[in-house]
Chains A and B, each alone.
Chain A
Amino acid sequence: MKITFYRDRCIGCNYCVEAWPERWQMSKRDGKCVLIGGKKKGKLYHAEAGEFEREYNERAAQACPVDAIRINK
């Protein structure tokens, strides 16, 4: 599965970390979230993750109030 993270939109609410801390972590540098294992391309971050993570990452995406997380179908 592929995860895309629009980091500019993040307001640091921490919901994704609550949903799946294995993949999402708050940065102490700027208070926004970090997609663990993500690679930056332009303004976006992309990461490949195992299917077993899908449910948790989808929960994170659903919880995100600023629609910053997209999971491929």
Chain B
Amino acid sequence: MKSNPKVGEFHSKEHFLKTEIMAPAGDWASLKAAIQGGADSVYFGIEQLNMRARASNNFTLADLPKIADVAREESIRTYLTLNTVLYDHDLPLMKKIIDAVKEHGITAIIAADQAAISYAARNGVEVHISTQANISNIEMVAFYSHFADVMVLARELSLGQMKKIVEGVKERDIRGPSGNLVQIEVFAHGALCMAVSGKCYLSLHTYNSSANRGACKQNCRHAYRVTNEEGEELLIDNEYIMSPKDLCTIDFLDQLLDTGIEVLKLEGRGRSPEYVKTVTRCYKEAAQAVADGTYTREKVDAWKKELEEVYNRGFWDGYYLGRKLGEWSRIHGSAATKEKRFIGKVLHYYPKAKVAHVRIKAGGFNRSDSLIIIGNKTGVAEPEIDSIWVGDRPADVVAKGEECTIRLDCVVNEGDKVYLWEDRD
């Protein structure tokens, strides 16, 4: 059996930071982007037994060896989400997945259903308890400690409640199967549910599509008008009455880490690679700054600006600071300040010359434009353009239909997609 670094084992120099930054990896490009952002660990789903079952780009069982290889090379830990409600007919697949996790040395599974938790624990596979289990008190931690070493808390707790749980683990010496004290994890960034996580049946009732089988249709993200049977409409100032803003903790990360939590989870397996890279990097830098005592308001403002550039529904501090639910998004989709626009594809990359041969298929670009290049091997490259050539002539502008060669300061790969990275209107 191969093995990846276990919780608490830090192999490389960069891993001296005590707080673990756990990033989402919905596909190969996001996995690479998470590594580029400095993630200590990644979580991902395979097949249909994960909370993004609808996603067409889910990894499969056959991808596990390669994921484990990449993780070993990069000294990051890998967590496989296996956290849907399970029915009897799912049990063989669940067992097959856990057996494969053990065989290929994936670090742990993230689970909520007792069938998966007990099968993994029985077979010596590390278990992390999913947010779907809504851990909200110290007795739940004690209960799950028979099976699991890491537990994510419910997203509906306050900082005070988190701190009490972390202190309770130490005071009561609650240890997981590894013999170490149970590690407490919380969500630091990303989408929030309008319901208590894992207890929403809106999608199931309206579309027969169960959120708890990973098939949430996100009804809460739409605009609604409230009308009574007489046709009178209740005037409300915001029609997005069920769509919470995204959680963002970067401006009180010092307080969050002061609770003693050890793992920061970033939400977004359904989000794009550039989101994964930016969010991971910001939180890694911020956690490091808190550890070094260099966490300042100026830095927070800069990180927040960067976080606003990528997908978000507007930010709030969730329930962590004791606020009541009421921070509703005012938009459908994203409030990101930047967006990517597809312009072309990398036909070939010449590594010695650091030159990419690109076909421009849409729009066009100027030399002064910002580009990002995304691909499975590349992750998210943000190149500084040294020079552009169209045919054998240097150029400042490239139009649709043209092929050009671009000298870059980073490595890209054949087949990568090239985007303009521009301000949103």
Residues from chain B with Cβ under 8 Å of A31 in the complex = 47-49, 89-90, 92-94
Whether the pair A11, B208 counts as a contact (CB closer than 8 A) is no
Of the residues B49, B92, B210, contact of A65 by C-beta under 8 Å: B210
Residues from chain B with Cβ under 8 Å of A10 in the complex = 48
How many contacting A-B pairs (Cβ < 8 A)? 50
Whether the pair B49, A13 counts as a contact (CB closer than 8 A) is no
User: Which secondary structure dominates where chain A touches chain B?
Assistant: loop
- Please encode chain A, from 5 to 42, with 1 for each CB lying within 8 Å of some chain B CB and 0 for all others: 00000111111000000000011111110000000000
A47 adjacent to chain B (CB < 8 Å): no
Q: Which residue of A lies closest to B84 (CB)?
A: A11
Given contacts A11-B213, A31-B49, A31-B89, contact A63 B208 (CB under 8 A): yes
B361 adjacent to chain A (CB < 8 Å): no
Of the residues B49, B87, B94, contact of A14 by C-beta under 8 Å: B87
B53 adjacent to chain A (CB < 8 Å): yes
Whether the pair B89, A28 counts as a contact (CB closer than 8 A) is yes
A66 adjacent to chain B (CB < 8 Å): yes
B304 adjacent to chain A (CB < 8 Å): no
- Please encode chain B, from 191 to 213, with 1 for each CB lying within 8 Å of some chain A CB and 0 for all others: 00000000000000001111001
Residues from chain B with Cβ under 8 Å of A27 in the complex = 89
Write the nearest CB–CB distance from B292 to chain A, whole angstroms: 45
Q: Which residue of B lies closest to A15 (CB)?
A: B208
- Please encode chain B, from 278 to 321, with 1 for each CB lying within 8 Å of some chain A CB and 0 for all others: 00000000000000000000000000000000000000000000
- Per the bound structure, the CA–CA distance linking A32 and B92 in Å amounts to 11
- Per the bound structure, the CA–CA distance linking A70 and B87 in Å amounts to 25
Given contacts A11-B214, A32-B48, contact A66 B89 (CB under 8 A): no
B163 adjacent to chain A (CB < 8 Å): no
A: contact size bracket: 10 to 19
Of the residues A29, A62, A63, contact of B92 by C-beta under 8 Å: A29
Write the nearest CB–CB distance from B87 to chain A, whole angstroms: 6
Whether the pair B208, A12 counts as a contact (CB closer than 8 A) is no
Residues from chain B with Cβ under 8 Å of A62 in the complex = 208
Whether the pair A11, B89 counts as a contact (CB closer than 8 A) is no
Write the nearest CB–CB distance from A18 to chain B, whole angstroms: 11
Write the nearest CB–CB distance from B63 to chain A, whole angstroms: 15
B54 adjacent to chain A (CB < 8 Å): yes
B93-113 residues at the A interface, CB under 8 angstroms = 93-94
Q: Which residue of B lies closest to A25 (CB)?
A: B89
- Per the bound structure, the CA–CA distance linking A40 and B15 in Å amounts to 49
Given contacts A10-B48, A13-B210, A32-B48, contact A66 B93 (CB under 8 A): no
Given contacts A31-B48, A65-B210, A66-B215, contact A11 B53 (CB under 8 A): yes
Whether the pair A30, B213 counts as a contact (CB closer than 8 A) is no
Whether the pair B210, A12 counts as a contact (CB closer than 8 A) is no
Q: Which residue of B lies closest to A8 (CB)?
A: B56
Of the residues A15, A26, A63, contact of B89 by C-beta under 8 Å: A26
Residues from chain A with Cβ under 8 Å of B90 in the complex = 12, 31
Write the nearest CB–CB distance from B119 to chain A, whole angstroms: 14
- Per the bound structure, the CA–CA distance linking A32 and B217 in Å amounts to 20
B33-48 residues at the A interface, CB under 8 angstroms = 47-48
Residues from chain A with Cβ under 8 Å of B213 in the complex = 11-13, 65
Of the residues B47, B53, B208, contact of A30 by C-beta under 8 Å: B47
Whether the pair B208, A65 counts as a contact (CB closer than 8 A) is yes
Residues from chain A with Cβ under 8 Å of B89 in the complex = 12, 14, 26-28, 31
Instruction: List 18 additional contacts besides A27-B89, A64-B208; criterion CB under 8 Å.
Output: A11-B54, A11-B214, A12-B48, A12-B93, A13-B215, A14-B87, A15-B208, A31-B48, A31-B49, A31-B89, A31-B93, A31-B94, A62-B208, A63-B208, A65-B209, A65-B213, A65-B215, A66-B209
Q: Which residues of B contact A (CB under 8 A)?
A: 47-49, 53-54, 87, 89-90, 92-94, 207-210, 213-215, 217
Nearest first, the 4 closest Cβ-Cβ pairs linking A and B are: A65-B209, A26-B89, A31-B93, A11-B48
A-B contact pairs, 28 of them (CB 8 A): A11-B54, A11-B213, A11-B215, A12-B48, A12-B87, A12-B90, A12-B213, A13-B210, A14-B89, A15-B208, A26-B89, A27-B89, A28-B92, A29-B92, A30-B93, A31-B48, A31-B90, A31-B92, A31-B93, A31-B94, A32-B48, A62-B208, A63-B208, A65-B207, A65-B213, A65-B217, A66-B54, A66-B215
